[in-house]
Amino acid sequence: MKILGIESAAMTASIALLKDDAIVCEYTTNFKKTHSQTLLPMIKEVLQMTDTAAKDVDVFAVSEGPGSFTGLRIGAATVKGLAYAVNKPVVGVPTLDALAYVCYGSQYVLCPMMDARRTEVYTGLYLFENEEFIRLEAPCCLPVREQVKNAETLAKEKGRKVLYFGDGADVYKNVIQECAEIPPVFAPAHIKSEKASAIAEYGRVLYEQGKAVSAFEFEPVYLKKSQAEQEREAAGLATE
């Protein structure tokens, strides 16, 4: 089975091809480019490097959100177009689930954070027990301080420390350090950001659980309204 993983929910753009039990190619960049500039050329290069035609891909796995509204829309439009063209299914992978799945086997309570602005983060809580990936808190949008409290409550129950990662953990590192009662642990660079390899691998898990949809059915998950919509509502203007 070949699964093409596509990650565009945050600043990182990442493409990976999973063939059976191996990641045969991964291309990741996080440097001053927009997803509209990078995503399709990256997909083309990954397919060319692995001698794979789009029609040979069995499943398209894509980060479904939450995250950047623009990034999610570009990722959704890209995967819907590709999957429709070759009549293949799409698996939407929760961005935070995949971000935590990168830390497979970790003994920490996992607390991914993606910057949602105004000292809020898209976040969730996870851990691994006996190789089982457990979601302790569903993806949500919370103030940083509130999530640190939630994470530490669970960490005390489990007798573990908390591992913070994601761009939100970088942006609000000082806030986390100020309010944490348990000394916080911050993930190193190689596991702290989104990876298409995790989208592809966890996408396979979800595919095997029967969670694939058609290109027409797939829609990104935003969790909150865009900044523009919030400002229009605050000004008493219609959002439609």
Give me the torsion for CA of 21, 214, 218, 75, rounded to 10°.
60
What is the DSSP secondary-structure string of 99-112? Answer: HHHTTTT-SSEEEE
Query: For residue 234, what pLDDT is reported?
Result: 45
| Structural element, H or E, at residue 157 | helix 144-158
Looking only at the bridges linking them, the beta strands covering 120-129 and 132-143 are: antiparallel
Mean pLDDT of 101-110: 97
Q: pLDDT for 79-88, tens place per residue?
A: 999 999 999 9
Q: pLDDT for 180-198, tens place per residue?
A: 999 999 999 999 999 999 9
Q: Is the pLDDT of residue 226 over 80?
A: no
Helix, strand and coil content of the chain, in percent to the nearest 5, comes to 40, 30, 30
Q: Which residues contact 108 (CB under 8 A, 6 or more apart)?
A: 127, 160, 161, 162, 163, 185
Higher pLDDT, 14 or 36: 14
Chain centroid to Cα 189, Å, comes to: 16
Cis peptide before 143 (omega within 30 of 0): no
Higher pLDDT, 225 or 235: 225
The 10 Å Cβ neighbour count of residue 91 is 27
| Structural element, H or E, at residue 70 | helix 69-86
Nearest to 70 by CA among 10, 27, 30: 10
Question: For residues 71 and 9, what is the distance between their CA atoms, to the nearest angstrom?
Answer: 5
Q: pLDDT for 123-175, tens place per residue?
A: 999 999 998 999 999 999 999 999 999 999 999 999 999 999 999 999 999 99
Question: For residues 164 and 162, what is the distance between their CA atoms, to the nearest angstrom?
Answer: 6
Question: For residues 159 and 161, what is the distance between their CA atoms, to the nearest angstrom?
Answer: 7
The 10 Å Cβ neighbour count of residue 179 is 16
| pTM for the model | 0.92
Query: For residue 238, what pLDDT is reported?
Result: 55
Mean pLDDT of the chain: 93
Domains of the chain: 2-95+195-234 (3.30.420.40), 103-191 (3.30.420.40)
